Structure 1
Amino acid sequence: MDYRLMRMEVKVDARGKLVSLEGLKNIPFAIKRFYYMYDTIPDKERGFHAHRELEQLVIAIDGACEFVLDDGRSRDSVWLNRPDVGLYIGKKMWREMRNFSYGCKLMVLASDYYDESEYIRDYAMFLKEVL
């Protein structure tokens, strides 16, 4: 499956901690879009889509949530709960997000600009495309 957890380098000094994210350096793609989610609600689920060509890196900068990732052959569950660990999600990976902690904040870096035609929002169609 085309995903992995990536530990970010943390700079620490007496003032606190800092994580720097740089496209094509510690992020495996050029960053063309950045967005974030906040005020998430624990019993509400999100996602339920895949992207044809888009790559993403998701970081829980505060709180936690579960990602269910699916490549059409198998499904894995991954918890994001640290601001120094990112979840890289490659192309054609179905994702579902659930079990948000109150106030979870997710930051997402994407390899391309928003394009609705890039989304696969129907699971049956996703399976047709990947299998």
Structure 2
Amino acid sequence: MPQQPYLIPFNVTGSPAEGYISSTQFAKTLPFTVMRVFWTYNTPPLVVRGRHAHVATEQVLVAITGQIKVEADNGRDYTETFTLSKADQGLYLPAMHWANLYFSEGAILLSLTSSDFDEADYIRDYQTFLQKAQDPNV
């Protein structure tokens, strides 16, 4: 059975008096080895980011500041919306899931991925994604 997106809690250390540190301590909470890290910021709230799926790349998405709504869709029988607003929590997004991202003012998204950037791994047309999700041989 293919995996579905799910929330991952991160390790938290600290106190209100001195602040907090969150981590993926020994990477045991991540479902893959991280190959690439990038962040997205200064996204106007009316802009929809994402709007693509990955053929093979897996991701963990973290809202470092602000709030980010993530609509995830496997193109077959699963659609769910997640709201990311805690820096001590990430969203695991498996390969072959279309995602639309909506940023609040000032939100910063941290992305941890299972592979380096490769344009061939992207599906940027939703109809093509639906065809591939229904029949991976397309």
For residues 2-49 of structure 1, the C-alpha deviation after alignment (integer angstroms, 9 at most, x for no partner) is 200111110114532111225751211101000001112111111110
Name the CA shift for 1:22/1:32 in 2 (closer, same or farther; >3 Å). Answer: farther
1:37-116 matched pairs, under 5 angstroms: 37-73=40-76, 74-98=78-102, 100-116=103-119
Kept in 2: contact 1:23–1:31 (CA 8 A): no
Kept in 2: contact 1:63–1:105 (CA 8 A): yes
Q: Normalised by the size of structure 1, how large is the TM-score?
A: 0.93
Counterpart of 2:124 (choices 102, 121, 125) is 121
Secondary structure class of the residue paired with 2:127 = helix
CA RMSD, aligned part only? 1.4
For residues 25-76 of structure 1, the C-alpha deviation after alignment (integer angstroms, 9 at most, x for no partner) is 1211101000001112111111110001100000001000111100112321
Runs of 5+ in structure 1 lacking a partner? Answer: none
Q: Aligned residue for 1:32?
A: 35
Amino acid aligned to 2:111: V
Name the CA shift for 1:33/1:22 in 2 (closer, same or farther; >3 Å). Answer: farther
The percent of aligned pairs where both chains have the same amino acid is: 35
What is the alpha-carbon distance in structure 1 between the residues aligned to residue 72 and residue 110 of structure 2? 18
Secondary structure class of the residue paired with 1:91 = coil
Kindly report structure 1 stretches of 4+ aligned residues shifted beyond 6 Å: none
Kept in 1: contact 2:36–2:114 (CA 8 A): yes
What is the alpha-carbon distance in structure 2 between the residues aligned to residue 23 and residue 117 of structure 1? 31
Q: Aligned residue for 2:133?
A: 130
Q: Normalised by the size of structure 2, how large is the TM-score?
A: 0.88
1:3 aligns with 2:5: yes
Kept in 2: contact 1:2–1:91 (CA 8 A): no
Amino acid aligned to 1:75: T
